[in-house]
Structure 1
Amino acid sequence: MAGGAHPRCDYSDDSGGCRVQIPEGGGVNVNSLIIANLHIRRTLGNRKALIALVLLPILVISGIVGLFGRSSDVRVSVALLNADGGWLSEPVADAIRDVGIYEVLEQDPASTDLERLKGEVYDGKRGALVYIPPDFTAKLLSGEETAIQLIRKNERSWNVSLGLTLSETTNRLAGTAALAAAAEEGPEERERLVRSMLEKQAAEGLRAEREQIVHRANNAYVLVIGLMLVFVMMLVNQSIHGVVEDRDNRTMARIFAAPVRASEIALGNFLGCFLLGTIQLVLILAVTRYVIGFDLGVPFGVLVAVMECFLLAAVGLSTAAAALVKNSSMLGSINNMIVVPTCMLGGCFWPIAMMPDFMRKLANFTPQRWAISALEQASAGESLAGIGLQLGVLGLFAAVLLAFGSYVLRPADR
């Protein structure tokens, strides 16, 4: 080739000729984008792969929403056991009723056993139990500490919202009682002042604007989130599988022998995996939200940000796994030993609260755990800044695993 310039052969046909060529000196961005484009075309280059990796996840999630999503119209059963009976316990009951997604079932404290109600909650017969202890009103008026108990089987977005409602109402009542205690010394005058202040709060426009940020209790929420994470990892594994095949058939060795920097090659491969996952995620989220109409209770931008951070961590995890095998035939077995156990341990199929304590601790070493935690916090009203810890941990997963994989996954290791 004239002047010593020669194109780089990325993939060759059976005759040994180049099908795709990447010119020397194209720049980091150009070379990496060309490699990423080839990566995407190879992974989704036929109808079977497109159906299995993109259309099938959309159909499965749509089916789950169709089967279970309709149960979102059913209100959550919340038992209310008011052992106080005082007038300050009434605003608590009203605050629960005002939310609108709870079916409040008031229990007679004279004939109801608290332990029996707790057992019904743990057996799944009731969504939750709100227990207002005796002397709740008297302790608030006297300035003593008191608390309402929320008994729940596990932590879900709707009962986190219920806990916030109870906490906000109790704090407001306690604050009002504290102001009255500072102004009046006698108990009768203090009670009269508290009543007056609460009436003024209700009459003079002190309002809390409520927005439904979580769904009514249903199984679709858990299944949709969990399966989205599973499908992302499946697509990433398939994409990384192509990189390992390149290493096995010496294509990667030819790429590294070309006048292109190793960082450009690694960036192109990782960028291809990331773009493939992004295509799948955006399609699933858009169809689920705007076509099917199933809202996960998280702003779309926050949802995409969390899933993209998990995607980076998934690419790192698959890359690290690929670096530990010597051929592509072993990669499938290794991935099956990683994807399914980590998804089970990370809470993709059932709440982490149902697992033993030692398994909950192990779950912290899986990216799925932090992605689900971020979505749960976001559905409870947290902003991106509020879930910064979870996103940071996912970023740490991605950085460490990608660095390990890119260093080890080289043609010389074959």
Structure 2
Amino acid sequence: MNSLAIALNMLRRSLFQRKGFLMYLVIPAAAVSLIITVLGKQSENRADIAYLNLDQGALGTQVVQELSALPDYRLTLAASEAELKNDVIKQKITGAFILPADLSEKLIAGGTLPHLDMYQLNSNESTITFKISLEGILSRYQDTIALYRKQSLTETDLREITLQTISQIQKYQVSPEITDLHLYTNPNMHIVIGLMLIFMMGLMNNTVSLVMEDRRLRTLARTYTAPVRAFEIVAGNFLGSFVVGTLQVLVILFITRYVAGYEYGLPFASHFVILEFFLLASMGIASAVASIVKNATNMNVINALVVTPTCMLGGCFWPISLMPEWMQKLANFVPQKWALDAIERMSAGEPLSQLWMNMGVLALFGLILLSIGSAILNPAETEAG
């Protein structure tokens, strides 16, 4: 009961006041959620292609219709050739092409494929595949016309039957439909979870700083003189910090999932459980650092020298696979690596029950570091300086 009273007092000081509610919950959770929402959006892979259709016949329109149906490109009609070139130069579009005025006439007449003007600043996968698709459409039209030409049709009949054939082909043409079966993780998942872990560690430092403030003001010293066991004092302070951190995690998950609509690709409960284990490890790191730093004003500086390097080593900024082998082995000694690994494996389809090692390592991090950091509550310690 004494531990619950101490935890409730911490909640009253941090969340049950208007200023504390804003500083410890609303503002941090909103900021983290906003960053995750912005950076976590998947970029659309469709290439923007501008065009001019100068063709006087009907085949130019058919070409544009077929290209517009391709899922990898977004076609936009340019007002003029000058505007088209200007957009390519300013990289507003990936590429551009112009259908000549005599396209239909040359195709009906037979012979080689007509020359098309294409514009691009550099060759890439999108422009190369688009050119292949365009040439494939024109080649198919050419083959269709050549087949009907062998039947000795008049030019009028040849035009008519060619357009009918191409129209029927487009009408019954099989088109692909992309279905996301969630077999792969969100490509932005890594940076989103990494940012979440970084801010969680920063938020936990704020709650631990309350305990440091109590030590500086001799509040803890007076608490230890009361008929309360030392274990209850330690448990109460850490329980209060853990509840504050849990509320922050719940708000962040709720906003990013159900307000911003970000798709993590894993169940809410499993995601929450892993973050709770990481929260325990974060508390351990914050309390261990606080037990060393006697001056609360130096807490942020010391944490910057601890949080940032461990997050870099743990893979919050880039995949661990990109680091040298010796750094990959060293990453096993920071909790960020185990939390990221667990969430990525869950998003790939593994159930929470198979991640017992990750949860065990995170719990071990928390218990060991909290044991070391319990010295923060020692009333015999005095503030340096």
User: Alpha carbons of 1:362 and 1:226: their partners in 2 closer, same or farther (altered >3 Å)?
Assistant: same
Q: 1:280 aligns with which of 248, 270, 273?
A: 248
Task: Give how far 1:298 is off.
Answer: 1.4
Contact 2:338 2:361 in 1 (8 A): yes
Task: Give how far 1:378 is off.
Answer: 0.9
Partner of 1:42: 13
Percent of pairs with identical residues: 47
Partner of 1:212: 182
- Which amino acid in 1 is paired with 2:337? R
What is the DSSP-based 3-state SS (H/G/I as helix, E as strand, rest coil) of the residue aligned with 1:348? coil
Task: Give how far 1:54 is off.
Answer: 2.5
Task: Provide the rounded CA distance (Å) in 2 between the counterparts of 1:251 and 1:61.
Answer: 33
Measured against aligned partners, the alpha-carbon deviations of 1:175-213 in whole angstroms (never above 9, x if no partner) come to xxxxxxxxxxxxxxxxxxxxxxxxxxxxxxxxxxx9515
Task: Give how far 1:53 is off.
Answer: 3.4
Q: 2:293 aligns with which of 319, 322, 325?
A: 325
Partner of 2:347: 379
Alignment of 1:70-219 (within 5 A): 70-71=41-42, 74=45, 211-212=181-182, 214-217=184-187, 219=188
Measured against aligned partners, the alpha-carbon deviations of 1:231-264 in whole angstroms (never above 9, x if no partner) come to 2111211111111111111110100110011111
- Which amino acid in 2 is paired with 1:227? L
- Which amino acid in 2 is paired with 1:267? A
Q: CA RMSD in A?
A: 2.6
Task: Give how far 1:44 is off.
Answer: 3.2
- Which amino acid in 2 is paired with 1:225? I
Partner of 1:259: 227
Measured against aligned partners, the alpha-carbon deviations of 1:35-68 in whole angstroms (never above 9, x if no partner) come to 1111122223554543343233443344345534
Task: Provide the rounded CA distance (Å) in 2 between the counterparts of 1:400 and 1:227.
Answer: 25
Partner of 1:63: 34
Task: Give how far 1:222 is off.
Answer: 2.5
Contact 2:36 2:195 in 1 (8 A): no
**TM-score under structure 2 normalisation?**
0.61
User: Alpha carbons of 1:339 and 1:292: their partners in 2 closer, same or farther (altered >3 Å)?
Assistant: same
User: Alpha carbons of 1:67 and 1:408: their partners in 2 closer, same or farther (altered >3 Å)?
Assistant: closer
Task: Give how far 1:408 is off.
Answer: 5.8
Residue 381 of structure 2 is aligned to residue 410 of structure 1? no
Residue 269 of structure 2 is aligned to residue 298 of structure 1? no
Higher Cα radius of gyration: 2
What is the DSSP-based 3-state SS (H/G/I as helix, E as strand, rest coil) of the residue aligned with 1:411? coil
Contact 2:290 2:376 in 1 (8 A): no
Contact 1:72 1:216 in 2 (8 A): no
User: Alpha carbons of 1:65 and 1:325: their partners in 2 closer, same or farther (altered >3 Å)?
Assistant: closer
Task: Provide the rounded CA distance (Å) in 1 between the counterparts of 2:318 and 2:20.
Answer: 29
When the two structures are aligned, how many residues end up with a matched partner?
Answer: 255
- Which amino acid in 1 is paired with 2:241? C
Partner of 2:305: 337
Task: Provide the rounded CA distance (Å) in 2 between the counterparts of 1:49 and 1:349.
Answer: 30
Contact 1:240 1:318 in 2 (8 A): yes
Partner of 1:147: none
Partner of 1:202: none
User: Alpha carbons of 1:216 and 1:312: their partners in 2 closer, same or farther (altered >3 Å)?
Assistant: closer
Task: Provide the rounded CA distance (Å) in 2 between the counterparts of 1:304 and 1:338.
Answer: 25
- Which amino acid in 2 is paired with 1:366? V
Gaps of 5+ in 2: 47-71, 73-123, 126-179
Contact 2:207 2:241 in 1 (8 A): yes
Partner of 1:231: 199
- Which amino acid in 1 is paired with 2:265? G
Partner of 1:389: 357
Task: Give how far 1:311 is off.
Answer: 0.4
Task: Provide the rounded CA distance (Å) in 2 between the counterparts of 1:316 and 1:56.
Answer: 24
Contact 2:6 2:233 in 1 (8 A): yes
